[in-house]
Structure 1
Amino acid sequence: MPEPEPLVIDDLHVSFGPVVALDGLTLTAHRAEVTAILGPNGAGKTTMMRCCTSLIHPDSGQVSVLGHEPGSPQAAEATGLMPQSAGAWVNIKAGELLRYMAGMYSDPISPDQLIEALGITPFARTTYRRLSGGQQQSVNLAAAIIGRPRLVFLDEPTAGMDPHARHHTWDVIEELRRDEVSVVLTTHAMDEAARLADHVWIVDRGKVAIHGSVAELTAQQSLEDVFLTHTSDRAEGAQWSFPHPSDPSGPDAPTNPAAPNDPAAPNDPARRH
C-alpha cells in the first residue's frame, strides 16, 4: 500500500461570520518536498495552517495529515508547527525553552545543535519576551522541529529576521528536505519561495489561483509578476490625498466649520457693515 501524501486538502471552507476565509481550497503537499503557499494578506494562508493543525475546524471539506485526521494522536506526534507568534513563552530563556521542549520527545534533535544552526547562541540566555521578533522566530522554528517531525508547518518563518538569520533558516529548511521531512511554509518573500520551494501554490480570497513548480511558473515571467497577475490588490481603487496643513479639509480642520455663506461665519460678507 503506498504511503499517503503528507498533506491533502480537499474543498476546504471556513467562514468567520460574514467573512469567508477559505472558499473551496484544494491542494496537496508531497513527501520530502518544500511546499510554499503564497498569497496576499487575508488570502487564508494562516487559516489553512490552523485547520491542518486542528486549531480551528473547517465548516466543510477534508484535511488529511500523513493519512490521519488533524489533531489525532498519529498526526500530532509526527507534525511540527511554527506559528507567527508564541506569546505564551514570555518568561523562559530561549535555551531553557528548547531543552524543555526536547524533554517531551523520545529522540529529539540536540538543543545545542539547533541553537548553533539557527544562530541562537548570542541570545540563548535571554528570556523569550525580551527577544526581537526575528530572534523569536528562530526559537519558534527550533521548537517546531526539535521533535524530528515528518511534516512541519512554518507560518512566515523568516518574518522579521535579518539577512543572516534568514540564511540560517533557509539552510535548516534545506537540511530538513534532505532528511526527507515534508515542509509546508507560507511566505511573502518571493526570493524565499524561489530558492526553497519544490512546488508553489498561490492562493487568493481563500482558493487556489495557480500552482506549479518554480520552473513552470517562471518560464515566461518572474514569480513576483505571476503573483501580481493572479492575485487581487486589496488597495486597488483606493483614493489617496495628502492635503496641505493649511487646507481646511485637512485632518486638523474643525469638526463643524462654518460654511462660507453661513450668516454665523465671522468672515461672511453679509455680516460686514
Structure 2
Amino acid sequence: MQPVISVSNLSKTYASGFQALKNVDLEITRGEIFALLGPNGAGKTTLIGIICGIVNPTEGTVLADGYDIISDYRQARSQIGLVPQELTTDAFETVWATVSFSRGLFGKRPDPAHVERVLRDLSLWDKKDSKIMTLSGGMKRRVMIAKALSHEPRILFLDEPTAGVDVELRRDMWNVVRSLRDTGVTIILTTHYIEEAEEMADRIGVIHQGELILVEDKVELMRKLGKKRLTLQLQYPLAAIPENLRSYGMELAEDGQELVYTYDTQGERTGITTLLQDLSAAGIRFKDIQTDQSSLEEIFVGLVREQP
C-alpha cells in the first residue's frame, strides 16, 4: 500500500545555522494513528510545519497522498488538516462562521450538512452561535479541530491537541480521534502526555535533536524495549539478599518486606520459574506476588537518555 505521507532525506537548517532536522526518512500508512514524540526543541513542530507547507525545507522531498508539497502545493495542502498548538481564532466570530470560513479558504463550496456533522461529532453543535471569546479553553481546542476538518482532509495533524484540557475532556477527544481514524482519516499526533500516545497510537516515532531515532509499532516497541517487574511481598523480612540469589539482580526494600525482580519482556518464563524455585530452596516465603510492565513513558525517557 502506498504511504499517505512519504518523507525522504528531509533536512532543515535555519539562517542562524541551527539544524532543526537532519536527514529524516518517514512513511506513514493510510488510516493509522501515528504518535511523534520528542523533548522540547527536538524538531516535531518543524517537521509538521514542513509537511503542512508552513516551513520551507532545506533539502529532501515530502509527498502528501502522492502530491509533492512544493511542486503540487495546492493538491497536497488540500489533503491536510492542521490543529496547531496555539489557539488562533477570531474571538468575535461565532463557531459556525469560523468553521464555515475555514472551509471556504480551501475553495470548497458551502456544505452546511458537513459543518453540522463536524460540530455535532465534536460536541459543539449547541455552541454553534456562540462567539469564540465566550468558550472555555477545551471548547476552543475543539473549534480548532473543527476548522481543520472543515475541508474534509484525509490527513490530520494534531500538535499537542489536549494541552490545557482537563482529564475528562481529554478522554472525550481521544474518542473523537479514534472515530476519525475509523472513517479512514490518517492522524499524526504530537503530545507531551505520553500516556495519550500509549492509549491511542498504532505506531510511535521518537525524534531527538532533529533526528528520527526510532519508528516502531507500539505493541512491538513495548515488547522489545519494555521491562517487567515481579514484586514479592515476603512473609518475613530479610536483612539482606542471600549470596546465591544475588545473580538475579533483585532489589530489597528498605524494610526488608519486599523483593523486586526486573526482567526483559522478551525473557523466558522459565527464568521466573527458576527464581521461585531458588527462593523456596533458600527458605524465603512470600504472601503475595504482583507483576507490572514498564510504560511507554519509561521507554521514551530511556531512549532519549541513551542519545549523545
Match of 1:96 in 2: 97
Runs of 4+ displaced beyond 4 Å: 106-109
Q: Structure 2: which amino acid aligns with 1:8?
A: S
**Cα distance, 1:187 vs structure 2:** 1.0
Q: Unaligned regions of 5+ residues in structure 1, if any?
A: 234-273
> CA 1:170–1:40 in 2, change beyond 3 Å: closer, same or farther?
same
Deviates more, 1:99-108 or 1:135-144: 99-108
3-state secondary structure, aligned to 1:85: coil
Match of 2:63 in 1: 64
Structure 1 contact 107–147 (Cα < 8 Å) conserved: no
Aligned length: 232
Q: How many percent of aligned residue pairs carry the same amino acid?
A: 29
| TM-score between the two structures when normalised by the length of structure 2 | 0.69
**Cα distance, 1:86 vs structure 2:** 4.6
Match of 1:200 in 2: 204
| TM-score between the two structures when normalised by the length of structure 1 | 0.77
Structure 2 contact 11–58 (Cα < 8 Å) conserved: yes
Match of 1:184 in 2: 188
Higher strand share: 2
Match of 1:81 in 2: 82
Q: Unaligned regions of 5+ residues in structure 2, if any?
A: 227-293
> CA 1:79–1:107 in 2, change beyond 3 Å: closer, same or farther?
farther
Q: Structure 2: which amino acid aligns with 1:162?
A: D
CA deviations on 1:159-201 (whole Å, 9 max, x unpaired) are: 1112232122211211111111111111111221112111110
> CA 1:114–1:88 in 2, change beyond 3 Å: closer, same or farther?
closer
Residue correspondence of structure 1 range 111-122 to structure 2 within 5 A: 111-121=115-125
What value does the CA root-mean-square deviation take over the aligned residues?
2.4
CA deviations on 1:179-229 (whole Å, 9 max, x unpaired) are: 111111111112211121111101111111222111112122321011101
Q: Distance in 2 between matches of 1:146 and 1:173?
A: 15
Higher helix share: 2
Q: Distance in 1 between matches of 2:136 and 2:76?
A: 31
Residue correspondence of structure 1 range 88-237 to structure 2 within 5 A: 88-102=89-103, 105-106=108-109, 110-121=114-125, 123-219=127-223, 220=226, 221-232=294-305
Q: Distance in 2 between matches of 1:102 and 1:75?
A: 16
> CA 1:89–1:142 in 2, change beyond 3 Å: closer, same or farther?
same
3-state secondary structure, aligned to 1:89: coil
Structure 1 contact 33–177 (Cα < 8 Å) conserved: yes
Q: Distance in 2 between matches of 1:162 and 1:122?
A: 20
